[in-house]
Amino acid sequence: MAAPFRPCSHLGGNLRARFLPALTQFYSHRKQPARLDEISRKKSSDKSFQSPMISTFLFPGLTTFTLSPNDLQKTNFSTKANRTCWKCGNDVDTKDEVFFCKCGVVQEVKGLDFFELMGFPESFDIDTKALAQRYRDLQTLLHPDKYSLKTEREKQIAEEQSSYVNKAYFTLLRPLPRAQYLLERRGDPIEEENTGVDQEFLMEIMEINEEIMDADTPDSLQPIQMSNDTNTKNCVSEISKAFSSDNIDRAKEWTIKLKYFANINDKIIGIHQKHFGAH
């Protein structure tokens, strides 16, 4: 019999009372990098100033740096490069010879991004059923046991291929790690110390956590789970729209929110398993 799950509303209230002052202090002292686009635009509007618009960034305590328009437009970071077979020395085609050279020898894949590795265009919107089928095909193709009679280097590369494919698959399979990976690819990863959300949203998350702490039956958790599922689907939809329009700032904002809702889902599952014996 599962242990009784007692309401803990007083804990939620205490947590909220202690957290709010710290949160307010954090936002009031938080320093953001200053971008001087407006200054650049004013200079560009001056007929005597013919240089292309630049963007200057000022970080407190760090060196000022400037990006040209070409740099700012580099939102996609391709890892495609010339590959050479370590065995025969011939060039290896990144698209048609991902895992093997024409000479039949296995090739290293660590320099490839997850999308080209799995054979999909780089996009947040991905056919997960096709991805799963591709993963099963590659598991069969690249199984390390097939290389038991090969050289030690071929065995090592085959093991690395299998491990890298696993990592790529589970990164692209679910929306949250897929979005995080795309943000990293565009040079704007989510840092642990950078929440990127306002106090109102954080308060909403705290209220949901309080409701979870107060729930003492599976039935009382069900509406919380349903609401969280709706919020999750909304986040995924907004992330898709943001990446489709190449709005990286908005994609990051909604990815951070999705991360919070994913944590809530994990908490609900954990409570079901610990106190009610199932999900």
pLDDT, tens digit, 9 for 90 and up, residues 105-130: 888 888 789 999 999 999 999 999 99
What CATH number does the domain located at 83-173 have? 1.10.287.110
Token readout for 237 is 């939809």
Q: What is residue 15's three-state secondary structure? A: helix
Q: Which residues contact 49 (CB under 8 A, 6 or more apart)?
A: 43
Residues 59-68 have pLDDT tens digits of 344 444 344 3
* Per-residue confidence band for 195, with pLDDT thresholds at 50, 70 and 90: low
Mean pLDDT of the chain: 75
Asked whether the predicted pLDDT for residue 76 surpasses 90, the reply is no
Q: What is the DSSP letter of 174?
A: S
* Per-residue confidence band for 255, with pLDDT thresholds at 50, 70 and 90: very high
Evaluate whether 207 touches 15 at the Cβ level (below 8 Å).
Answer: no
Percent of the chain with pLDDT strictly greater than 90: 40
User: What mean pLDDT do residues 192-199 have?
Assistant: 69
* Per-residue confidence band for 81, with pLDDT thresholds at 50, 70 and 90: low
- pLDDT for 196 equals 67
- pLDDT for 278 equals 55
Tell me the C-alpha distance between 41 and 67, whole Å: 14
* Per-residue confidence band for 101, with pLDDT thresholds at 50, 70 and 90: confident
Asked whether the predicted pLDDT for residue 133 surpasses 60, the reply is yes
Evaluate whether 79 touches 111 at the Cβ level (below 8 Å).
Answer: yes
Backbone φ and ψ of 31, nearest 5°: -110, 130
User: What mean pLDDT do residues 189-213 have?
Assistant: 85
Model's pTM, two decimal places?
0.68
* Per-residue confidence band for 102, with pLDDT thresholds at 50, 70 and 90: confident
Nearest-CA neighbor of 96 among 114, 110, 77, 83? 83
Measured between alpha carbons, how far is residue 249 from residues 123, 190, 246 in Å? Answer: 16, 11, 9
- Which of the residue ranges 1-5, 95-99, 217-221, 266-270 has the most confident prediction, judged by mean pLDDT? 266-270
The angle formed by the CA atoms of residues 11, 15 and 17, to the nearest 5 degrees, is: 115
Tell me the C-alpha distance between 66 and 234, whole Å: 36
- pLDDT for 128 equals 97
